[in-house]
Homo-oligomer: A and B are copies of this chain.
């Protein structure tokens, strides 16, 4: 029960933990119910992604990692769309307001908001008896009409992907004590690397302007490369052929692959990569790869867009078709 003139618990929570993140004038220091996104003619790109305890992160995951993942899965969408981050709103569904959890959560969110120039604009804090959930809607800006969609891939375009693929799925397997955990008992560095790839995505926002200049279509890889490329191709009315031997793998993932601990399916359909998948006309392929190199982001060509709406082809080193039994992670 509140005393007569005290602010409500919810208001104190927001002010106490999240005001330092509300650096944009349009956030009004979080004292209003609404925020303002000003625009001088650019398009505002909107994306929304939620993370749920037990689904997108594990109950025992460090709160600072959870905060970063919640924001970064959205930043990853903005990167793939070619948008410059402009801010975000946050819905926190919490069981309790334990300082030991909220303090590192808020501090990490604050740090990431600064790093990615993406200030908090507003939010809502609600209590839940169930698993915690963090829902973020993030905003970015692109010049008018310049958001990179999913529908522009054309036959002949090369298929490119940033970073490395499959690490997060293997990291989750490590955390769950699966085959990857057993295989890496004597290699804590590889284990830690894979777990960090699951817990803290590295969104490729620095690449957004170059993507805008070169990509005909793009999306971020969140539910597994194979399934996400299938979606992109379906939206563009094309097919694709992927050379599985050219998949960019980290040393840890390549090691597990060589020992047959990691299947091609785990790598291609595992999810949680948060890398950018894009299609680029062949003539601009090297330019984008070079742009990535100068920005410290590996960009790798892994296949080619083909005609028609046929099933995607995944080819092994001998040019033989691999048959995948699943393409992606699905919530239902």
- Show the binding face of A for B, using Cβ within 8 Å: 1-5, 7-11, 13, 28, 31-52, 54-56, 77-78, 80-81, 83, 89-91, 93, 96-97, 121-131, 133, 135, 137, 139, 142, 144, 147, 149-151, 219-220, 223, 227, 230-231, 234-235, 311-312, 323-332
Contacts and interface: CB of A to CB of B under 8 A. Distances in A.
Contact of A37 (B28, B34, B46, B230): B46
10 contacts: A2-B327, A8-B327, A34-B46, A39-B44, A48-B124, A52-B128, A128-B131, A129-B130, A129-B131, A133-B133
Given A9-B330, A135-B135, A144-B38, A46 B122 contact: yes
Q: Which of A78, A124, A135 has the most CB of B within 10 A?
A: A135
The 10 closest A-B pairs by CB, nearest first: A130-B130, A8-B330, A9-B332, A39-B39, A137-B137, A37-B44, A34-B47, A127-B331, A135-B135, A48-B89
A34 B83 contact: yes
A9 B5 CA distance: 49
A326 B332 CA distance: 43
B52 A126 contact: yes
A92 B193 CA distance: 32
Copies of the protein in its oligomer: 2
B135 A325 contact: no
A171 B28 CA distance: 34
Contact of A45 (B13, B34, B124, B219): B34
A87 B122 CA distance: 17
B122 A47 contact: yes
A46 B56 contact: no
Given A39-B44, A81-B34, A50 B311 contact: no
A54 B129 CA distance: 8
Nearest to A47: B34
B35 A328 contact: no
A327 B2 CA distance: 7
B81 A331 contact: no
A75 B20 CA distance: 27
A306 to B, nearest CB: 15
